[in-house]
């Protein structure tokens, strides 16, 4: 008689049976007694709450144990009263429906009622009534189904679904729901065909992936998903599903299908795809089969986290890390180059001293003169090589003046036209309103020449070189050399600025060209950019600060003076014995009276003990007390003592000292006899 929890309520006016059941049919007295006893046991022990009421009227005649538990009452004070009189159904409209139902001769099913038990608990029931006769009197046997928990669960589910809908619609994460039942059906077909390893099957039948994906149906999407995929509606998204995939997407989609085929309920990974506008996106997808749908895959939730910007930022971070590491490597190479150049300068200084003496003393012997000239030429080439190392490692400018880069470019173009025998076409693309820069003329000209020489070497047969100048706002000026030559691949381009790295045949280059340019541009506060592709030529751009930006104090120009004849008493200070010995010989050959010291403290002791000195010659780079500190201490003893600093690399401290002290000059290592004589000529 009682219906299930999920049954729809039946209109109480619809008859359930054609007539009432008789509780006491025509039987003998004993049979009637046994029947009633059996009915009473069933009635009282039925787990469904039951009651017998009069019809019509609805007065309660009997209650089952389960009915009394439902109502929270006993029989006392209840029997003989109607349900309305007991207060079990407080709602007047529901009581009216109940009264109408009790008037139906065919009974009723599933009448929903709000039920207040006498112990104060609110219940919801479905009430059904069967017409019957009890001892000749019409009655109804009522059966109640307690659906309180069901209704609570339904309400909680509706609230939960509402919250889910709210979260789904307004989540910042792209979410969509899919129906993959078509995919599941194809899985079953493949299993029936004997496919056990889907990955191998996809490898052998690439078209199968498209067939599987055709079984995907999108049920709903949220706003974040539409924004991610650049779609205005679900229909537009479904219509573009085939356009979102790329070649890179295939591996992800294959992995997804294999995971679902093998029974996985969660799959996640990164996919590169397109949006509806054809823009490349990178997303992290989490695919979850909803509970209860593992077999048919009819409900699958997909959450998508857009990682495009994060991946781009990560790529940019890696690029910057590589660039910083490269710059740090170049800086380390620069420091190494500076140290090597210092030691080489000392060696070359000794060689040039000996060569100069041989040339001066034995000049009448043709063989010795020839050998001395060879020594000096070789040393000069070594000096140029060392200068390249120093140019690479330098961080300061020398003599800084205002320069017109257009004029330098025109001069270089004229030189190229005369030296390339017309096999190279020279084009000028110069901004007539180019801002001037503050720079060292020789260094900038040398950098431009190096770039042009590299461009010529990249076009062994013929080609075109374009010299380009542009203003970049008010702060920077661009000077670029572009060629139509062989170009460079990524591996060569990555090492192009390294000193001694060259792709030219042995004997054709030192590998210092671009490293010198890099050092020069860096010293001017600029940047060097190299763009190149194999077969498409190379463009090297020097970006330099325009005047008056980053003007740095340089070293005063050393004037070449006439040799003097008056001998000087010279205090020579150098920690390198090779330099001291040969420099003493040079000074003596020039007629001077040198006395040497191997360190600053030793030189101070000589002066303290009364050594007469007209001039001090000091090596700048000495361990312990260097040349500048020694000079300062010597000036403390002899404030008027002139000094000559000898160095292969003058840093900013030297420039400051030259401004602060008079009678202080600089001589660059390595030097020959004539350069030394000219420097000492006016002291």
Give me the residue label for tokens 């003097």.
Answer: 564
* Three-class SS state of 230: coil
Structure confidence at residue 261 (pLDDT): 95
CATH class in words for 21-152: alpha beta
Q: Which residues pair with 176 in a beta bridge?
A: 221, 302
The class (CATH top level) of 569-680 is alpha beta
pLDDT at 553: 34
For residue 61, give every residue at least 6 positions away whose Cβ sits within 8 Å of its Cβ, in sequence order, or none: 51, 52, 53, 54, 79, 134, 139
Which residues on adjacent β-strands are paired with residue 282?
272
- At 391 the pLDDT is 59
Would the CATH topology of 171-306 be identical to that of 569-680? no
pLDDT of residue 10: 41
Residue 387 pLDDT greater than 80, yes or no = no
Model confidence pLDDT, tens digit, residues 99-133: 889 888 889 999 999 888 777 788 899 999 999 88
Higher pLDDT, 378 or 651: 378
State residue 499's pLDDT score.
60
Token pair listed for 398? 């020398």
**Residue matched to tokens 């002899």:** 638
Q: For residue 1, is pLDDT > 50?
A: no
- In 3D space, the residue among 678, 680, 437, 664 whose CA is nearest the CA of residue 555 turns out to be 664
Contact 484, 532 (CB under 8 A): no
Buried b (16+ CB within 10 A) or exposed e, 552-588: bebbeeeeeeeebeeebebbbbbbbeebbebbbbbbe
* Residue 465: partners with Cβ closer than 8 Å, 6 or more residues away: 416, 424, 425, 426, 427, 452, 455, 456, 459, 481, 482, 483, 484
Q: Which of 555, 564, 587 is nearest to 574 (CA)?
A: 587
Which sequence spans correspond to the domains of the chain?
A: 21-152, 171-306, 401-545, 569-680
Q: Which residues contact 493 (CB under 8 A, 6 or more apart)?
A: 530, 532
pLDDT at 262 (0 to 100): 94
Residues 436-458, mean pLDDT to the nearest whole number: 84
- What is the pLDDT at residue 8? 42
Q: What's the token pair of residue 45? A: 């022990």
The per-residue pLDDT for range 167-214, each reduced to its tens digit, is 777 788 899 899 999 999 999 999 999 999 999 999 999 999 999 988
- SS3 category, 669: coil
Band (pLDDT 50/70/90 cuts) for residue 158 is confident
Q: How many helices (H) and strands (E) does the chain have?
A: 23, 23
Give the Cα separation of 210 and 254 in Å (integer): 10
Q: What is the pLDDT of the chain when averaged over all its residues?
A: 82
Q: How confident is the model at residue 550 (pLDDT cuts 50, 70, 90)?
A: very low
Q: Specify the pLDDT at position 20.
A: 55
Span 22-42, pLDDT tens digits: 555 555 566 666 766 777 788
Any idea which residue has 């025998």 for tokens? 421
Q: Percent of the chain, pLDDT > 90? A: 29
Over residues 258-310, the pLDDT tens digits come to 999 999 999 999 998 888 888 989 999 999 999 999 889 999 999 999 988 88
668-679 average pLDDT score: 84
Quick one: pLDDT at residue 512? 52
Q: Which residue has the tokens 């790295």?
A: 501
Q: How far is CA 467 from CA 10, 437, 483, 595, in A?
A: 94, 17, 9, 54
pLDDT beyond 70 at 385:
no
Return the minimum-mean-pLDDT range out of 198-202, 323-327, 441-445, 477-481. Answer: 323-327
Hey, how many other C-beta atoms are within 10 angstroms of the C-beta on 182? 17
Q: Nearest CA to 517 among 430, 449, 439?
A: 449
- Cα of 178 vs its chain's centroid, Å: 31
Q: How far is CA 37 from the centre of its chain?
A: 85
pLDDT surpassing 80 at residue 566: no
- d(C-alpha 12, C-alpha 108), whole Å: 4
pTM: 0.43
Q: What one-character DSSP code corresponds to residue 299?
A: -
Q: How far apart are CA 108 and CA 376, in angstroms?
A: 126
Instruction: Specify the range with the lowest mean pLDDT, choosing from 234-243, 244-253, 291-300, 321-330.
Output: 321-330
pLDDT digits (tens, 9 = 90+) for 356-374: 887 777 656 777 877 778 8
Fold of the CATH domain 171-306: Beta-Lactamase (3.30.450)
* Angstrom distances, CA of residue 45 to CA of 65, 110, 439, 644: 7, 22, 109, 123
Model confidence band, residue 504 (pLDDT cutoffs 50, 70, 90): low
| Complete edge-to-edge strand list for the sheet that includes strand 593-597 | 593-597, 569-573, 615-619, 643-647, 664-668
The mean per-residue pLDDT over the stretch 134-141 comes to 84
16: pLDDT confidence band, cut at 50, 70 and 90?
Answer: very low
In contact, 272 and 246? CB cutoff 8 Å:
yes
Chosen CATH of 401-545 out of 3.30.565.10, 3.40.50.150, 2.130.10.10, 3.40.718.10? 3.30.565.10
> How many percent of the chain have pLDDT more than 70?
84
């Amino acid at each position: 008689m009682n219906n299930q929890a999920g049954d729809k309520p039946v209109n109480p006016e619809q008859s359930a049976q054609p007539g009432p059941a008789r509780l006491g049919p025509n039987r003998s007295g004993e049979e009637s007694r046994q029947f009633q006893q059996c009915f009473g046991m069933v009635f009282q022990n039925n787990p469904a709450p039951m009651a017998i009421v009069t019809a019509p009227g609805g007065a309660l005649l009997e209650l089952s144990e389960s009915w009394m538990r439902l109502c929270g009452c006993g029989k006392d004070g209840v029997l003989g009263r109607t349900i309305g009189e007991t207060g079990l159904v407080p709602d007047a409209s529901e009581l009216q429906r109940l009264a109408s139902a009790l008037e139906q001769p065919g009974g009723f099913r599933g009448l929903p009622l709000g039920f207040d038990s006498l112990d104060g608990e609110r219940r919801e029931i479905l009430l059904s009534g069967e017409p019957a006769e009890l001892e000749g009197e019409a009655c109804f046997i009522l059966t109640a189904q307690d659906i309180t928990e069901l209704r609570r669960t339904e309400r909680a589910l509706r609230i939960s679904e509402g919250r889910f809908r709210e979260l789904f619609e307004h989540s910042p994460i792209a979410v969509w729901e899919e129906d993959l039942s078509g995919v599941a059906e194809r899985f079953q077909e493949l299993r029936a065909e004997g496919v056990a390893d889907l990955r191998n099957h996809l490898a052998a039948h690439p078209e199968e992936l498209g067939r599987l994906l055709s079984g995907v149906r999108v049920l709903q999407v949220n706003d974040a998903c539409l924004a991610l995929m650049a779609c205005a509606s679900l229909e537009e998204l479904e219509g573009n599903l085939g356009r979102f995939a790329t070649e890179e997407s295939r591996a992800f989609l294959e992995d997804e299908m294999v995971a679902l085929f093998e029974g996985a309920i969660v799959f996640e990974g990164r996919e590169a795809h397109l949006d509806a506008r054809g823009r490349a996106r990178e997303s992290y997808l989490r695919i979850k089969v909803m509970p209860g749908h593992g077999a048919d895959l009819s409900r699958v939730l997909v959450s998508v986290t857009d990682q495009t910007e994060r991946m781009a930022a990560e790529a940019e971070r890696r690029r910057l890390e590589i660039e910083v590491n490269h710059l740090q490597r170049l800086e380390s190479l620069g420091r190494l180059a500076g140290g090597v150049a210092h030691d080489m300068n000392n060696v070359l200084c000794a060689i040039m001293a000996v060569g100069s003496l041989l040339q001066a003393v034995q000049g009448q012997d043709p063989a010795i003169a020839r050998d001395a000239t060879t020594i000096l030429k070789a040393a000069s080439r070594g000096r140029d090589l060392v200068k390249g190392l120093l140019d690479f490692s330098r961080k300061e400018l020398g003599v800084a003046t205002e320069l017109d880069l257009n004029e330098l470019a025109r001069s270089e173009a004229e030189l190229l036209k005369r030296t390339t025998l017309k096999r190279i076409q020279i084009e000028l693309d110069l901004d007539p309103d180019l801002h001037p820069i503050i720079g060292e003329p020789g260094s900038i000209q040398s950098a431009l020449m190096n770039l042009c020489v590299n461009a010529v070497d990249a076009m062994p047969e013929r080609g075109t070189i374009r010299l380009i100048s542009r203003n970049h706002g008010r702060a920077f000026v661009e000077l670029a050399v572009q060629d139509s030559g062989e170009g460079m691949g990524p591996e060569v381009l990555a090492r192009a600025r390294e000193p001694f790295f060259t792709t030219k045949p042995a004997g054709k280059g030192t590998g210092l060209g671009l490293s010198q340019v890099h050092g020069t541009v860096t010293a001017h506060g600029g940047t060097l950019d190299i763009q190149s592709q194999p077969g498409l030529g190379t463009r090297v751009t020097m970006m330099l600060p325009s005047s008056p930006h980053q003007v740095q104090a340089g070293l005063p120009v050393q004037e070449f003076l006439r040799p003097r004849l008056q001998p000087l008493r010279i205090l020579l200070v150098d920690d390198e014995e090779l330099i001291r010995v040969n420099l003493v010989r040079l000074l003596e050959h020039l007629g001077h009276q040198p006395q040497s010291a191997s360190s600053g403290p030793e030189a101070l002791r000589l002066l303290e003990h009364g050594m007469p000195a007209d001039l001090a010659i000091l090596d700048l780079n000495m361990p312990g007390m260097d040349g500048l500190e020694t000079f300062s201490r010597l000036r403390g003893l002899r404030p008027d003592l002139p000094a000559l600093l000898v160095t292969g690399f003058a840093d900013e401290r030297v420039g400051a000292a030259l401004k602060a002290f008079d009678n202080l000059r600089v001589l660059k290592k390595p030097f020959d006899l004539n350069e030394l004589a000219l420097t000492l000529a006016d002291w």
